[in-house]
Structure 1
Amino acid sequence: MRTLFIAVALLSGGISMAEAAEKAPSVEWGRHVSITSGCNDCHTPGYAESGGTLDPKTALTGVAVGFSGPWGTTYAANLRLTVAKMSEDAWVTYGKSFETRPPMPWYNVHEMTDGELRSFYMYVKSLGAPGQPAPQGLPPGETPQTPYIVFAPPQMPQ
């Protein structure tokens, strides 16, 4: 099917060989999507602190540092566990429809193409054992027992 897509795209003059190859879902494209979409910034332990060094052993396993704000406290989920529970088609549907609490920019994920979502799924599946879940989120007013970052809106001058 992929070969047919590339052949039709090239013959129609719609896209170049490089563009056609880029559109085919792959593990490598999924890795690229995970980096350029900022997934590792929050979902990979030590990624931001290391200046972007990606360790495949811990990539997308979730982080036990909470994000606390008026919504309560949220944690960056272990995406390996999330993906492990779904088929590729189910992941694409989920990626186009899920909503969650801040600071996760779920609305950005909705804008990903099916190819980007499929590639991301393939990449996450390639990483290996899912590992342990991130801590459960907390409702407003509960103090986290883990390190956390406070997301407080600034006070506007009166």
Structure 2
Amino acid sequence: MYGAALAAAGLVCAFTNRHDTPSQKQKVTTVHQRPTQNPLLKRGEYLVMTMGCGDCHSPKKMTPQGPAPDMDRLLSGYNSNEPLGSFDKNMVKTGQWVLFNGQNTAFIGPWGVSFAANLTPDATGIGSWSLAQFTKAMRQGKAKGLDNNRPLLPPMPWPNYTHMTDDDMKAVFAYLKSLKPVANTVPAPMPPAP
């Protein structure tokens, strides 16, 4: 009985002595996502998050816990306003190295330079895409889901998604179309250095 009363008193003290404003040391950066009640969008959000789409398609910002997705530019791809930066072409020419930029949205390898696409519903992203185009891109590795277009370039792991169910493909597409549009024209890939 005495132990329970002591524990209760400790809890009361802890709650009454807490500060409403956390100290600078205690502040934590949280990722805010808008909640959705639509089961299709919830499924799509779950798939996009677990498949790691944002690992490459979301620009990062530095936080006290390290790099985190920039939620203002969620899934908007390589930031076209930032310079690519220089690199030693000989490092990737032989195929021994692959380089990623600090945002993890630009990739340099023996295929050249590829950039993470804008997956938001803006016109510079997938705004004009149909579900059929999205499905073709994901299952056949065709850029913009167009038959006569180039293949999707590394490191896009499109072969991993070839066996997604039609329902899961619809859910991912619906979720991406529900995001905040971000105007960001991602550069075209660059061919390998001679």
The CA distance in 2 between the partners of 1:25 and 1:93, in whole Å, is: 24
Flag the structure with larger Rg.
2
Q: Which has the higher helix share?
A: 1
Identity of aligned residues (%): 32
Q: 1:68 to 1:120 in 2, by over 3 A?
A: same
1:105-154 deviation per Cα after TM superposition (whole angstroms, max 9, x unaligned)? 11012122211111111111111324112222111117xxxxxxxxxxxx
Q: 1:25 to 1:108 in 2, by over 3 A?
A: farther
1:17-75 deviation per Cα after TM superposition (whole angstroms, max 9, x unaligned)? xxxxxxx961111111111111100001117822xx572x3221002442101110101
Per the alignment, residue 12 of structure 2 pairs with none
Which of residues 116, 124, 148 is equivalent to 1:76? Answer: 116
Alignment of 1:60-71 (within 5 A): 60-64=75-79, 65=101, 66-71=106-111
Q: How many residues are aligned here?
A: 116
On the 8 A contact 2:44/2:173 being kept in 1, the answer is yes
Say yes or no: does 1:109 pair with 2:173: no
Output the TM-score relative to the length of structure 2.
0.53
Q: Per chain length, whose mean CA-contact separation is higher, i.e. which structure has more relative contact order (CA < 8 Å, sep 6+)?
A: 1
Runs of 4+ off more than 6 Å: none
Give the RMSD, CA atoms, in angstroms.
Answer: 2.4
Unaligned runs of 5+ in 2: 1-37, 80-100, 142-150
Q: 1:117 to 1:54 in 2, by over 3 A?
A: farther
Unaligned runs of 5+ in 1: 1-23, 143-158
Which of residues 52, 55, 58 is equivalent to 1:38? Answer: 52
The CA distance in 2 between the partners of 1:89 and 1:59, in whole Å, is: 23
The CA distance in 2 between the partners of 1:70 and 1:93, in whole Å, is: 25
Alignment of 1:117-156 (within 5 A): 117-141=169-193
